[in-house]
Structure 1
Amino acid sequence: MFKRALVLSGLMLSAAAFAQVKNPGTYLSAGVGDWATFDPAYCYDLLCGEVLMNTLETLVFFDGTSTSKFVPLLAAEVPTKANGGISADGKTYTFKLRKGLKFSDGSPLTAQDVEYSLERQLVASTDSGASVLLAEPLLGTTDPIRKGGKIGYDAIDRAIETRGDDTVIFKLAKPFSPFLSVLATPYFAIYSKNDAVKAGEWSGTARDWEKFNNLPDADSKFIKRPPLGSGPFVLERYDQGKNVVLRRNGNYWRAPAKLERVILQQVPDETTRIQLLRNGDVDSASVTRPQLETVSKLPGIRVVDNLPSLSLNGVFMNRRIDGTGTNYLGSGKLDGRGIPSNFFADKNLRKAFAYSFDYGTYLRDVFQNKARQQNVPIIYGLPAHNSTAPKYQFNKAAAERYFKAAWDGKVWENGFVLPVFYNTGNTNRQRAMEIFKRNIESINPKFKIEVRELQFSQLSAQRRSGQVTMWAGNWSGDYADPHNFIFPFYHSQGTFGSQQRFKNDRLDELIERAAAETELKARTQLYNQIQRIGFDEVVGIPLYQDVGYVAMRDWVKGRVLNPVFAGDYYYTISK
């Protein structure tokens, strides 16, 4: 403790000696994670996605800080119905490529490279990758593609076609409004077909597609280097578990990046990261919120807080619990010694839980009021977000009224013993469950809540198998569209809908209609209707939206903080 206090007090020293910009042509960042792969077919996280975003490129890109507007990148223009890029029925998207595109080795980038890159995502369809995001609009499925399954290579081949060397045509299974948002994510970046084939990857034909379907991560040829891309940087060096070094692409088709190099460092110790930032030895650093106030007071440091994060945390209630192999149901009856498997099938009970949570105290004590209460899925920063959407309030009288109505009075009369779960080490989720326990047990002494922890992998497996009763969880957006939140929370085939054994045919139909609707006003009306139904049904209890922040040296210029994908795009940055 003494050593830590000494270091932190030293952080407050005058920064006059560090006023001059260090390493002016190099951007250095200190983070906490490592890089598991650089293969777009296997990448599905921020760290690898950040490297891909800077070494490869997508057809369209985010427009500054907007979550709903796009600018052309490899494409000559963003397709619309007005310019003929989107067909009248919304099922065909045509992209014309820019002239003069080239990869970092100087070879031309063509429509065939686009076709190969995105078809390889679907062919690979890895358990660890993001292929399902592309399979939903193009193939009409949210399930991975598997050899011997209903959807094979012919469907993949028909979904993406080329005309000449500069035109790519996507044929959607059905209209899908978020399609451009999906294509803007770094997992669907474009790379050289020749480079991939020479490296030993899929040939690009039906001949060997099954051989490359759902291979283990270790079989990828691009674990330690990205495929040949067209981005503003190239990977110069990767020291596994330590550093990624990016070098400016000398063959870039646009004006060259202002930075000569970007060095991403893994620095597990937070005190060390803060010291590096204070000394000017790094330009940005990962800092936990408890240390943010201290860091913000350091001379030469700029903190940008209150950034909307595309992440939603909540509590979920299984309506058909599988008691096989666990003791979670106790007696299995409403006799005060357990719960029945369909305990949460009663809407009155779910409402009672929703009114038992002290939202204000939780957000104040855990997040210093920096997080937002959010009880419906379409969070702040997304198109169709409704600032007047309904919210639950902590109301013990209302909770008591609904508890008394639940199960025709049997819940109130007999009581229950209910285990609830959070993943080991997640203190924020632990605190949420403890608030439920304290408040619910204070309403009726016959109510017993047991707060239990499970390792994340174990909790995830039990959620999928339907064994968990009630648990705390999180959804982080894959792309910035309401569908990517409404579907997992409310649709019967979505992540949380299926894990809660919830099905509402009307909601499913409305959700699918909203995804196909291309006009924002009409979509918004549908989503407002969907959220009213979901809120009334208490399809889980969304609790709060995370708020992001960054800490950097004040000499950093041009850092665009887009909430869609939290990694940095270094092309715009200078010092």
Structure 2
Amino acid sequence: MTHKNSSSRKARALKTAVVGIAAALTFAGCTSAPASEETPASGGIAVVALTQEPGMLSPMFSTQSGSNLTYAFVVEPLFTTLDTGERVPNLATEVPTKENGLISDDGLTVTYKLHEGITWSDGEPFTAEDLAFTIDVTKQPDTPAIPDSEYGAIASYEVLDPQSIAVEFTQTQPNYLNLFKQVLPKHKFESASIDSDDPELREPTGTGPFAISEWSSGDEIKFTRNENYWREDSQPKLDGVTVKINPDLTTAVNGFTRGEFDLVFGLTAGDLDEVAAAVDSGAPIELHEKPENTGFVEWLWINNSDKGALGTPHPVLGDPAVREAIDYAIDREGVLADVLGGFGTLSNSLVYAGFGGELTETVPFDADKANSILDDAGWQLGSDGVRSKDGVRASVKFQTISGGEVRALYQQVIQQNLKDVGIETVIENVPSNLMFGDAKDGGLLATGNFDIMMSRAGKLPDPTEWMMEFESGQIPDSPEASGYSYAWWSSPEYDALFATVASEMDPEVREDAVHAANKLFASERPAIPIYASPTAWAWSSELTGVNDDSWNGPWDTTSSVNWAFAGASE
């Protein structure tokens, strides 16, 4: 669907979808001709605004969303995801199945076969030895990698030939296509024991159409055409892409609507109304909406433990009654209508898209019920309007990523909603790297040093990777551990359901486990959903041949060739 005018946009089914605004900038060209032109012109530098600069660009070693733009330009996965959710081969020649003999009868061994002639951007051959090396890195006891759970289930592997590797799992892995989203170049490392300050982690070598040529921290990252790109029939049209670091999202969006940027990486639902208004005013922007797709949800991450002490309930949020009251106290419809211009929908499901996804109803906005729940739980209203219980005031920090004006607006709406029921929230927003950084770097989610955090997450074609985020084993067990926990919540019942989802090959049994996990999550509220934003991609009309067929936009870490390769004027 292409945006036509503002009079009908709020009435569209767009309200039932999710926003991941980011066009695919890779194989299209720069031209002043209409966007329908079939053959894009070559040349030019596309300019992308990035609001969350990561500490490193190798996605396997970073939890920051900004590192995912590497998937668009540098890093290619073995398999990618179409708009329909179907997984298709990319670096691999075919999707392994039992029918083609690439999955063993017992489901424990999967053979991955690579195209011949693939090279790294430095011209070295890309082979199955690189896949084997990637597995070895994830198996190191002190690896700085943050591998997907499927790597942990690998029992052994055998390199069959330069283009084939057989991987044996300890148990069946229904999400076996999740392996090798990033492959590490063996020839660039001295051993599989990688130091966290290895330059390859900051500026990775890949097989994609571009290579990182220059990174000036706080200013810009330059990508240039990969002269060794292996796809002879699909070469990039751009000379390069320059990613400008612009920490303030509002400024970035304003710059985009004025034509300073060809794309904003990180555009949200709250910015969509401004972009649509700019299009209505004649701005040279292509805005494509996909009401049939549901994607990223804005969540409140509730710290269930006391400052990272798992097993010790948070003094306020560890009370289930408080979490339930927060759920009822938030006027989600008001946020959609008054702040987001009607763009978005509501969902109360942990898994709301992809396999097993379902859109279940959120609880209704009911401040009276929220007050009643808190009264019954013994949280008494004080003279200052803040409740307390056993000497503990219901006062918590409320944080999100700094720099987003629209997000700050609905953060304030939520703050007022909670104040109306006697819960005080103190807003202290922080940069992305502080929110998502490792424990050794003081990351708030990693150390458990937070009360309520707010960010978007959750859309993947298969639920395993997303559900894993709330499995007890993912909670960092020491300051030296990598990774983080959204909720510092541990549930044996949830862990068992996740184990079924992560290992069961029977789709019906697996889907039942997803739905049961959704019900448990909604009941215990380790996190509370606010809204799901609409799926849309926007880019400069100077770009032609742009393809927005990737399932999740740039935040889909299985997406690579589905990012279009666009060109822009110098």
Aligned twin of 2:230: 252
Determine whether 1:472 maps to 2:453: yes
Q: Aligned equivalents of 1:87 and 1:235: distance in 2?
A: 39
Count of aligned pairs: 492
Determine whether 1:65 maps to 2:41: no
Q: Aligned equivalents of 1:245 and 1:321: distance in 2?
A: 43
1:111 counterpart (121, 128, 131): 128
2:367 counterpart (396, 408, 416): 396
Q: Aligned equivalents of 2:46 and 2:484: distance in 1?
A: 42
Aligned twin of 2:4: none
Query: Cα gap change, 1:318/1:59 in structure 2, threshold over 3 Å: closer, same or farther?
Result: closer
State the AA in 2 paired with 1:82.
E
Q: Aligned equivalents of 1:244 and 1:108: distance in 2?
A: 24
Query: Cα gap change, 1:534/1:124 in structure 2, threshold over 3 Å: closer, same or farther?
Result: closer
Residue 259 of structure 1: CA displacement? Answer: 0.8
Aligned twin of 2:299: 314
Contact 2:497 2:513 in 1 (8 A): yes
Aligned twin of 2:43: 25
1:22-68 CA distance string (max 9 Å, x none): 97433513313557545465455454443454344332222x3243x
State the AA in 2 paired with 1:291.
E
Contact 1:60 1:70 in 2 (8 A): yes
Instruction: Give identity over the alignment, percent.
Output: 18
1:209-234 CA distance string (max 9 Å, x none): 3xx3xx233x324645x42x443344
Determine whether 1:216 maps to 2:196: yes
Determine whether 1:179 maps to 2:176: yes
State the AA in 2 paired with 1:264.
T
Contact 1:312 1:377 in 2 (8 A): no
Query: Cα gap change, 1:182/1:345 in structure 2, threshold over 3 Å: closer, same or farther?
Result: same
Question: For 1:31-430, what aligned pairs fall within 5 Å after superposition?
Answer: 31-33=49-51, 36-39=55-58, 42-62=61-81, 64-67=82-85, 69-104=86-121, 107-123=124-140, 127=144, 129=145, 131-133=146-148, 136-140=149-153, 159-183=156-180, 185=181, 188-189=182-183, 191=185, 193-194=186-187, 196=188, 201-203=189-191, 209=193, 212=194, 215-217=195-197, 219-221=198-200, 223-224=202-203, 226-227=204-205, 229-235=206-212, 241-249=219-227, 252-266=230-244, 268=246, 283-285=262-264, 288-289=271-272, 291-297=274-280, 298=282, 300-305=284-289, 310-321=295-306, 342-379=315-352, 381-387=353-359, 389-406=360-377, 410-412=378-380, 415-416=387-388, 417-423=393-399, 425=402
State the AA in 1 paired with 2:147.
V
Contact 1:267 1:273 in 2 (8 A): no
Structure 1: stretches of 5+ with no match in the other structure: 1-16, 141-155, 325-339
More helix by share: 1
Aligned twin of 1:153: none
Q: Aligned equivalents of 1:400 and 1:271: distance in 2?
A: 39
Residue 538 of structure 1: CA displacement? Answer: 2.6
Aligned twin of 1:557: 545
Contact 2:138 2:147 in 1 (8 A): no
Aligned twin of 2:7: none
TM-score by length of 1: 0.72
Q: Aligned equivalents of 2:369 and 2:191: distance in 1?
A: 63
Aligned twin of 1:522: 509
Q: Aligned equivalents of 2:524 and 2:175: distance in 1?
A: 26
Q: Aligned equivalents of 1:117 and 1:371: distance in 2?
A: 39
Query: Cα gap change, 1:419/1:463 in structure 2, threshold over 3 Å: closer, same or farther?
Result: farther
Contact 2:305 2:488 in 1 (8 A): yes
State the superposition RMSD in angstroms: 4.0
Residue 109 of structure 1: CA displacement? Answer: 3.0
Q: Aligned equivalents of 1:276 and 1:436: distance in 2?
A: 28
Contact 1:182 1:479 in 2 (8 A): no
Structure with bigger RCO (C-alpha 8 Å, 6+ apart) = 2
Residue 90 of structure 1: CA displacement? Answer: 3.3
State the AA in 2 paired with 1:384.
G
Residue 376 of structure 1: CA displacement? Answer: 2.1
| Structure of larger gyration radius | 1
State the AA in 2 paired with 1:296.
V
Aligned twin of 1:481: 462
Residue 509 of structure 1: CA displacement? Answer: 0.8
Q: Aligned equivalents of 2:563 and 2:301: distance in 1?
A: 41
Q: Aligned equivalents of 2:473 and 2:381: distance in 1?
A: 33
Contact 2:208 2:226 in 1 (8 A): no
TM-score by length of 2: 0.72
1:322-348 CA distance string (max 9 Å, x none): 599xxxxxxxxxxxxxxx955445434
Q: Aligned equivalents of 1:343 and 1:112: distance in 2?
A: 51
Contact 1:371 1:545 in 2 (8 A): yes
State the AA in 1 paired with 2:196.
P
Q: SS of 1:386's equivalent? A: coil
Structure 2: stretches of 5+ with no match in the other structure: 1-30, 437-441, 477-482
1:77-127 CA distance string (max 9 Å, x none): 111233232234433211122344444566543221221244335449654
Q: Aligned equivalents of 2:123 and 2:474: distance in 1?
A: 45
Aligned twin of 1:8: none
